[in-house]
Structure 1
Amino acid sequence: MSRFLLIKAVLGPLLRLLFRPRVEGAERIPGTGPAILAGNHLTFIDSLILPLVTRRQVFFIGKDEYVTGKSLKGRIMAWFFTGVGMVPVDRDGGRGGVAALMTGRRILEEGSLFAIYPEGTRSPDGRLYRGRTGIARLALMTGAPVIPFAMIGTDEVQPGGKGLPRIGGGRRITVRFGEPLDFARYDGMDRDRYVLRAVTDEVMSEVMQLSGQEYVDVYATKAKAA
């Protein structure tokens, strides 16, 4: 049994017991072949829940600091995160975005699922912020379909993205997947900034409709800085 299946077999039932996650539209994820899962990002546990509610293993980019700890806790975190599909990348500096993009491209070209949060960071206030165009470049470079998804209620379970998740109190998490988006009409246009923005905005529009969030047409990083 692979580490992913082992983790899923152990934590899956516990997750269902604690948070009673409702999964909608999972059948829209293709059973084979590459696809990009693009969704909103409310809190830290988004990246724990998503891999455990999909049948296929989902790979995603994570901070390399999650897997470099030398303590017992650090080693356990590294074992867990790499087991569920996290690929550590140093995202600091000017090359971080390029490294993340190339990693996503490699994963998709291997025929796997790759998850991305187009906002680039967690929402500071529960609203949906402007998407960064890396999602568009990835879709156009690989030809992979984009499956929009929405995390709903994770910010109530873990407000602020820190600390232990809350249990009980009637809180429930929903993970909702939308119809696949095909951008083949833009083939060969992955360097056109207007096309990249149009593709990104279309993805974010679908995420907004799935999540029901209010949309803010600024980057979340700028909102946090302000």
Structure 2
Amino acid sequence: MDAPLASLRRAIFRLAEQGAALSALYHRARLLGTEHLPLQGPVLLVGNHGVWGYETPAFFHLIHQSTGRYPLGLAERGFFRIPLIRTVLPWLGGVEGTRENALTALQGGALVVCYPGGARETFKRSQGRYRLCWERALGFARLAAQTGVPVVPFAGLGVDDTFRWPPGEERLCVRLSADDKYRMPLVVGMGPLPWPVRLTFAVGAPLEPPPPDASESRLRAFRDTVAASVRRLLTRSAHA
């Protein structure tokens, strides 16, 4: 990488760090269960995504504050068809969510964050608040089985309350692709800012991965176990 591009990358990263810290402050964000976050070695965090994925910078900021580690996020693959995002997102700790990238990251000892619901949770409607869209998600279970890395479940509370869906929400959307997967709802905040709700992120105890030769049914059972853990964390966090 040449010097001007490296300087630009550092400047954008610093700006993003400052933005993430401000977001965490604005939302009085807190991270519970930090004892379940290892300070070194590979770890796969799996949890729910908020509307527009807005909460992610604050979450990553809290993880870095707690552990000194910069998380690596597995981002929705479709976003990497957009030239600017394809260039900038890796500078900010996001990589295309392919199995190869995930394997490389975990084998390198990274703290990897995975949102199995992907765009289906990011672009949810109001009736989808805090509902996991993991029915077709087995990638993280296969990844855990292949690498032998435990899965650490987490839940984000408040992440679906930072924006509101206005009346007529079914009509107020931007279609980013031919299918409904990339229909981005138009949501509103408090004027130019998101609603100042508190963001709470709760981390659960690690779950042992399935064996490398696990059958499809066993992988599905593991996925459902992780999903159940996330739902329990959501419930507990609501009363914490």
Q: So what's the TM-score if we normalise by structure 2?
A: 0.69
1:40-51 matches, within 5 Å, as 40-44=48-52, 45-51=54-60
Cα shift readout 1:21-55 (whole Å, capped 9, x = no counterpart):
12111231110010111001121213333222212
Q: Distance in 2 between matches of 1:169 and 1:114?
A: 28
**1:133-186 Cα deviation digits (max 9, x unpaired):** 111101000111111011111211134665675447651111111111112xx3
Tell me what 2:134 maps to. 130
In structure 2, relative to structure 1, the CA distance for the partners of 1:194 and 1:164 (3 Å cut) is: same
Equivalent position of 1:201 in the other structure:
224
Distance in structure 1 (CA, Å) of the matches to 2:194 and 2:49 = 22
**Alignment match, 2:171:** none
Q: Is residue 175 from structure 1 mapped to residue 175 from structure 2 by the alignment?
A: no
> What is the rounded CA distance, in whole Å, between the counterparts of 2:23 and 2:196 in structure 1?
15
Structure 1 residue 156 corresponds to structure 2 residue 164: no
Report how many residues are paired: 192
Match of 2:61 among 31, 52, 61: 52
Q: Which amino acid in structure 1 is aligned with residue 99 of structure 2? A: L
CA pair 33-164 structure 1, distance change in 2 beyond 3 A: farther
Among residues 112, 115, 129, which one is paired with 2:113 in the alignment? 115
User: RMSD of aligned C-alpha atoms?
Assistant: 2.8
Give the TM-score of the pair, scaled to structure 1. Answer: 0.73
**Range 42-51 or range 20-29, more displaced:** 42-51
- Judge which range, 50-59 or 105-114, deviates more: 50-59
Corresponding residue to 1:25 among 29, 33, 41:
33
**Residue 189 of structure 1, aligned match among 204, 213, 219:** 213
Structure 2: gaps spanning 5 or more residues: 1-6, 166-184
Task: Give, as a single letter, the amino acid of the residue that structure 2 aligns with 1:130.
Answer: W
Q: Structure 1: where are the runs of 5+ without partners?
A: 90-99, 214-226
Q: Answer with 1 or 2: which has the greater Rg.
A: 2
Q: Is the Cα–Cα contact under 8 Å of residues 51 and 85 in structure 1 kept in the other structure?
A: no
Counterpart-to-counterpart distance in 2, 1:103 and 1:169 = 34
- Determine the C-alpha separation between the residues in 2 that align with 1:10 and 1:46: 14
Q: Is the 8 A contact 1:189 1:195 kept in 2?
A: no
Q: Do the aligned partners of 2:17 and 2:61 also contact (CA within 8 Å) in 1?
A: no
Please give the alpha-carbon distance, in whole angstroms, between the structure 2 residues aligned to 1:14 and 1:170. Answer: 12
Runs (4+) off by over 6 Å = none
Kept in 2, the 8 Å contact 1:35–1:114? The answer is yes
Is contact 2:152-2:207 (8 Å) kept? Answer: yes
State the match for 1:222 in structure 2. Answer: none
> 1:130/1:26 Cα in 2 relative to 1: closer, same or farther (>3 Å)?
same
| CA apart distance, 1:116 | 1.0
